[in-house]
Structures are given as C-alpha cells and as structure tokens.
Amino acid sequence: MKYTDTQITFSEFPDEISLLINISGCKFKCLGCHSPELWKDVGTKLTFKELHHLISINKGITCVGFMGGNLKEVNPLAEYVKNIDPPLKVGWYTGGIIEENELLKLEFFDYVKTGPYIKELGGLDCPSTNQKFYKIEHLENETKWINLTYKFWKHGTKG
C-alpha cells in the first residue's frame, strides 16, 4: 500500500486534529471524485516505520485518518497506531460499503466513513448523501456504530 501525501485537518473526523494519509490505488474510481490522482498506484510505501515517522513529525494530532486502502493492509496499521504511546484515535474512509463488516477489526478504529461518492446524491456535507460517517463506540460488552453523518451538514443538525 502506498500513499501520495498527508495533511492535517480539523474537518474529516469532527472534534479531532487529524493526520490524513491519502492512500493511492483506489479501485472505486467514482465519477466526480475530488481526488482522481489517487486512482493510480503511486507514492511512498506505507510501512510501520514510515507511519511512525509521519506521526512523530506531526505533533499535537489526536487522530490518524487512512483515506482509502484495503482492510488487509489498513487493519495492521490501525493496530500499530492504537499501540503507540500515547495511543491516537484512528479513522478510515473507504469508497466501499463496509458497515459492520467482520473483516474490519473494530477494536482498532474510532471512526469509519463509508460509501462511494455519487455525484447526484452529494458528498457527506449533503443531507441526501449515500455516504455515512460512524463513530465506533467501544463499550464493555459491545461495540456500537453511531451514525454522525449529520455533523457534516450545514448547521450540524439531524433535521
């Protein structure tokens, strides 16, 4: 798995200062995609050593967001982030439909964004979107998927 670039944002994962890692080689190729440059398999290999470096040079972050990639490669990187000292929150965006998929090792994730971009429905900031943003809440005996998609809508209200 390779990444093309990183950025620090306050909006991709609400209430977090997030280091976003843009993963290349996207297989979804959504019509109207805002990042078609990520369709190609280009960039720097995202190893544990590289991830450690990216985290260490971005002091003050509270979350690492993997923007793309596949679960086989993202799960171990998420586990790595959760096991550093101090652990950071982890978010993942996929253009696929991943809701409550058993391949996702939920114990290593705090946020999951799912769904392909469909131009007619709009992105996460549009109430008609098909995309979903979940906070993964880890309780004593269960894990809850809390739909917080509305936080991206104007005024941040459900209705």
- In this model, does residue 30 exceed pLDDT 80? no
Say what the pLDDT of residue 155 is. Answer: 66
β 18-23/63-67 pair status: parallel
pTM summary value:
0.90
Residue 29's pLDDT band (cuts 50, 70, 90): confident
Contact 55, 81 (CB under 8 A): yes
- In this model, does residue 70 exceed pLDDT 90? no
pLDDT digits (tens, 9 = 90+) for 95-112: 887 654 556 788 899 999
Contact 143, 137 (CB under 8 A): yes
Contact 113, 131 (CB under 8 A): yes
Bridge partners for 94 per DSSP: 114
**H helical segments located in 8-152:** 48-56, 71-82
Q: What is the layout of strands, in order, in the sheet containing 44-45?
A: 44-45, 2-9, 18-23, 63-67, 89-94, 111-114, 132-138, 143-147
